[in-house]
Amino acid sequence: MKRRQLRGFDLKQLNGVNNLIGVDEVGRGAFAGPVVAAAVLVTREFLESRWAIAKSGRVNDSKLLSAEQREELWGEFETLAAEGRIHAHTGMAGVAEIAELNILGATKLAMRRALGGIYPPEAFQAKRDEPDLFSSFEERSAFQPEVSARVIIDGLPLRSFPYPHAAFVKGDSRSLCIAMASIVAKVTRDRMMVALAEKHPGYGFPQHKGYGTEEHRDAVLRLGKCPEHREIFLRKLLAVRVDPDQMDFLGAQE
């Protein structure tokens, strides 16, 4: 029953607009690999379609689904996108961008790139000359863009973000299109991490996808870090296990 509420939540969010775009990210807490975001656009027609009524109950926060369930849903999303019934796009920020912008800045960059594949930010700007259109998050969330679309994001509101949006904590468990975005982002990033294992073997990327498991920590201590590791994350996570005088070893593969 709870999963069916995701579709109802999105129908309520469509009040006054034609399109709803859900955005989510994965990889923010990993200490290797990129952060990946996805944006999924749905319409009232889609939310009232036979597929949404009959099958959307299988959609949930990607963390609560098995890899097999995510892959199966991914295949169905591809079909829906090919038929023009939904639109989906991904964006990523790599390790160098994470180091330059910090993880929050890189996450916003990935989300901006995902949304840009559906609508450019200019489409959401009002026809006004004031440099600062919004004095509060409430104004930003209530803003009606020219493209007749509303953006909803999992988590907290984002400051200095070019797209007006509403944010919902645990949105991937509340909104169908955010949950769909979480699955698209998760499958995309998981496949990237499997591919990275061919270039950087021995770390177990296909198993833990770059997250800080015991297996991953042991591999880094044994092999040193590779270019796909986020150095600041490694230093924090391994500090209790590594003699400070040996920290230079972690740069062995640079």
Q: Tens of pLDDT along 35-81?
A: 999 999 999 999 999 999 998 889 987 888 999 999 999 999 999 99
Q: Is the pLDDT of residue 223 over 70?
A: yes
**In CATH, what class is 4-194?**
alpha beta
Taking the mean position of all CA atoms in its chain, how far away is CA 187?
A: 10
Q: Which residue has the tokens 């469509």?
A: 14
Q: Tens of pLDDT along 126-176?
A: 544 344 445 565 665 555 556 789 999 999 999 999 999 999 999 999 999
pLDDT-derived band at 235 (thresholds 50, 70, 90) equals confident
Q: Residue 121's pLDDT is what?
A: 87
Q: Residue 1's pLDDT is what?
A: 38
The encoded tokens of residue 141 equal 């969330």
Q: Is the pLDDT of residue 181 over 90?
A: yes
Q: Is the pLDDT of residue 101 over 70?
A: yes
- Portion of the chain with pLDDT greater than 90, in percent: 70
Q: Which residues pair with 229 in a beta bridge?
A: 32
Q: Residue 247's pLDDT is what?
A: 42
Neighbour-count burial of 105, counting CB atoms closer than 10 A to its CB (0-12 exposed, 13-18 middle, 19+ buried): middle
Question: Cβ neighbours of residue 36 under 8 Å, at least 6 residues apart?
Answer: 25, 26, 27, 90, 91, 92, 110, 185, 188, 189, 192
Q: Residue 124's pLDDT is what?
A: 77
Average pLDDT of every residue of the chain: 86
Q: Residue 37's pLDDT is what?
A: 98
Rank 13-27, 136-150, 230-244 by mean pLDDT and report only the highest. Answer: 13-27
pTM of the model: 0.85
Q: Residue 229's pLDDT is what?
A: 96
- Portion of the chain with pLDDT greater than 70, in percent: 82
Q: Where are the domains of the chain?
A: 4-194, 201-251
Q: Residue 216's pLDDT is what?
A: 93
Q: Tens of pLDDT along 74-92?
A: 999 999 999 999 999 999 9
Q: Residue 239's pLDDT is what?
A: 65
pLDDT-derived band at 237 (thresholds 50, 70, 90) equals low
Give the C-alpha separation, 229 to 243, whole Å.
19
Q: Residue 55's pLDDT is what?
A: 87
